[in-house]
Amino acid sequence: MKREAVFSKSPRTVGSVSHIDAESSTPTSWRTKLRWDFVAVFLLGVLFSLLFMGVFLMQRNAPKALTQQDIDGAVLHTLQTKELPSASAKAAASVQGAVVHVQSYVADPKNKDQDKESGVGTGVVIKDDGTILTNFHVIAGAKKLKVTFFDGTEAEATVVSVQPEKDLAVIKPQKIPDDLEPAILGSGSSQQLLPGDMVVAVGFPFGIGPSVSSGVVSGLNRQFKSPDGTQVLQGLIQFDAAANPGNSGGPLVNMSGEVVGIVTAILNPTSARTFIGIGFATTIESAGSAVGLPPF
């Protein structure tokens, strides 16, 4: 008799378990990998978005490059809305702290215990130690000298050296202000002057000051003969900035704020001794060499 095949009803443990595990594990691993890929892509997208936004904001907020038109417009606006100091005012301000009032005294013939003022002029500080350059005729014959600085400080001064033939003298005060700054001497600057160049004269005309007057260089290499005819000064700068008795020894200044000369005389054919439009200054090179200042 033919026997029918008999199959066991017990499940095949190994085969069936392996089969079931394989079937159930494959979808889980795939879904997990897909989820992490999505997260990575999402984060990468966020990163690129942030980078793009940062670049956009940087470009948007970056300062605009200035053009020549922008600069010209700003300058024009300033000129139209602001009152700027004149070139003459700036030139005078650059030396005003170095300009001093010089007073000379002689013995009073009526009272030997008192001194009498015999002259008044101007000087300019040329060294840090307070050394002052002035005219010889301002201090000639003086028994005592007194200088007054820009801040009101007063001090007696002594004569260091003189050059009568050039009408120059160097004096030194016994004390100076703490913040005293000497004037800037324009080495070679007077040689670059031309008729028509603007200059200012700073000094104490008739003892009033410091006073400032402005004008132009009206001539170069001029000659001046003293009223008594005993002295002739040569190589002078002629200028038309107002100068009067008391301006002698003061600085003549160019528009760069440099001292180019020392005011020494005014031309007036009358006995009034007042300014008629022609003044003379010794060049700063001549003045510097007379007192031994380098690099003159």
- Superfamily of domain covering 190-290: Trypsin-like serine proteases (2.40.10.10)
**Of 214, 218, 248, 286, which residue is the catalytic one?**
248
Q: Is the domain covering 95-173 a CATH 2.40.100.10 domain?
A: no
**Of 137, 211, 214, 286, which residue is the catalytic one?**
137
222/220 Cα distance (integer angstroms): 5
Is 271 among the catalytic positions? Answer: no
How far, rounded to the nearest angstrom, does the alpha carbon of residue 24 sit from its chain's CA centroid? 88
Is 248 among the catalytic positions? Answer: yes
Strands 232-239 and 279-283: antiparallel
Q: Could you tell me which residues are beta bridge partners of residue 257?
A: none
**Of 88, 101, 104, 167, which residue is the catalytic one?**
167
pTM for this structure?
Answer: 0.72
Give me the DSSP letters along 44-109: HHHHHHHHHHHHHHHHHHSPPPP-HHHHHHHHHHHHHH--PPPHHHHHHHHHHTTEEEEEEEEEET
Is 167 among the catalytic positions? Answer: yes
Instruction: Centre a 10 Å sphere on the Cβ of residue 121 and count the other Cβ atoms it contains.
Output: 26
Instruction: Identify the CA nearest to 275 among candidates 236, 241, 240, 244.
Output: 244
Strand intervals (E) in the chain: 99-108, 111-125, 132-134, 144-148, 154-163, 168-173, 198-203, 211-225, 232-239, 251-254, 259-266, 279-283
Give residues with Cβ within 8 angstroms of 109, minimum separation 6: 116
Same fold, 95-173 and 190-290: yes
CA distances (Å), 226 to each of 134, 166, 219, 239, 268, in order?
Answer: 17, 12, 19, 17, 11
Give residues with Cβ within 8 angstroms of 58, minimum separation 6: none
How would you write the pLDDT of the chain (296 residues) with one tens digit per residue?
444 444 444 454 444 444 444 444 455 565 666 566 666 666 777 777 777 776 666 666 656 677 888 778 777 777 677 777 899 999 999 999 999 999 999 988 888 778 899 889 999 999 999 999 999 999 999 999 999 999 999 999 999 999 998 999 999 999 999 999 999 998 766 778 999 999 999 999 999 989 999 999 999 999 998 877 778 999 999 999 999 999 999 999 999 999 999 999 998 867 777 888 899 999 998 887 766 665 54
For the chain, give every domain's residue range: 95-173, 190-290
159/133 Cα distance (integer angstroms): 10
- Measured at the alpha carbon of residue 197, what is the angle toward residues 95 and 75, in degrees to the nearest 5? 75
User: Which position has the token pair 């004149």?
Assistant: 86
The encoded tokens of residue 44 equal 């990468």
